[in-house]
Amino acid sequence: MLGLTVSHYRVIGKLGTGGMGIVYEAEDLRLPRKVALKFLPEQLADDADAVRRFDREAATIALLSHPNICTIYDVDTHEGRQFIAMERLDGVTLKAVMAREDLEFGQLLGITRQITAALGAAHAKGIVHRDIKPGNVMVGDDGHVKVLDFGLARQFRLPGSNQTGLEGSTIPGRPLGTANYMAPERILQLPLDPRSDLFSLGVIVYEMATGRLPFAGASPSDTVTNVLDREPEPLTTLAPDRPLALEHVVVRLLAKRAAERYQSAEHLAEALARIEVPPSTLATRLLRRLRPAR
């Protein structure tokens, strides 16, 4: 693909490969900007279910416009293969950020608030992401967060709305997604609920705060059992330097029953707004900035 012109985009590099797509960096030949082109892998070109999910991702992102959600520019085909042209994001995934450093509380809180804002925008349009995890969150060098990969997203019926959901499929007995970040109702394949995204966010916050996943087991089946039946070790037990107020938020996010969680991203945002960055964290950040470079 390198060097090829696809529609009005010239491919200049490869950004990454995942189970549901290959992403290339390209130059827009009409506008002065770089873009990311996501192609469905060749081996899935004849997979009707994979094609539907790919189409659904494009249709879903097209409904959304928010500073914390990756923007889509175009959908087209090249030699029979569909691709999505979207904004080229600078930065690394949250998964990579957590692998290389322990997050200061101010960073953790800022990332959480931005993911919450993105989820609020999606839910307001009747969209459940269904695959919120660190690998689907990009963090820029300036700390700006973008949520991406809406390939598993589905629409739910908003109260008082006559809209219908996006076409999709469900494989009986095998919910699509990553078990470590799935809400109990997702594992049980119950009706769509935006509060399941908030559960997934709770897992991310716990992981950012402690460096550990709250429900990870020795096997996928153990993880599923933990999500359904067991409570995680208290956050402040593993990370005593984290504020108790954060633990209270996470406990509510990780409630087994959706009715016991925050009922919307807006309610979660209000709770996060009441959490202040401890002075010690601010002082540590200031000292790091003043410390001479080696």
pLDDT at 60: 82
CATH number at residue 65: 3.30.200.20
Q: Rounded distance, CA 57 to CA 40, Å?
A: 11
pLDDT at 22: 87
Mind telling me the catalytic residues?
A: 141
pLDDT at 80: 78
In-domain check, residue 198: yes
Regarding whether 101 and 185 lie in a shared domain, the answer is yes
Last residue of a domain, one of 87, 104, 128: 87
Q: At what angle do helices 105-124 and 265-273 cross, to 10 degrees?
A: 150
CATH number at residue 141: 1.10.510.10
Last residue of a domain, one of 87, 109, 142: 87
Regarding whether 62 and 42 lie in a shared domain, the answer is yes
HEC readout, 43-102 = HHCCCHHHHHHHHHHHHHHHCCCCCCECCEEEEEEECCEEEEEEECCCCEEHHHHHHHCC
Regarding whether 168 and 67 lie in a shared domain, the answer is no
* Ranges 3-12, 61-70, 114-123, 271-280, most confident: 114-123
Mean pLDDT of the chain: 86
- Structural domain boundaries enclosing 106: 92-280
Minimum mean pLDDT range among 36-50, 178-192, 232-246: 36-50
pLDDT at 170: 38
In-domain check, residue 286: no
Minimum mean pLDDT range among 48-62, 87-101, 124-138, 216-230: 48-62
Regarding whether 235 and 152 lie in a shared domain, the answer is yes
- The alpha-carbon radius of gyration of the chain (Å, integer) is 20
Regarding whether 179 and 41 lie in a shared domain, the answer is no
What would the mean pLDDT of 8-35 be, rounded to a whole number? Answer: 89
pLDDT at 166: 41
In-domain check, residue 285: no
Regarding whether 80 and 18 lie in a shared domain, the answer is yes
Last residue of a domain, one of 87, 119, 146: 87
Q: Is the pLDDT of residue 171 over 70?
A: no
Q: How confident is the model at residue 280 (pLDDT cuts 50, 70, 90)?
A: low
Number of independent structural domains in the chain:
2
Regarding whether 190 and 260 lie in a shared domain, the answer is yes
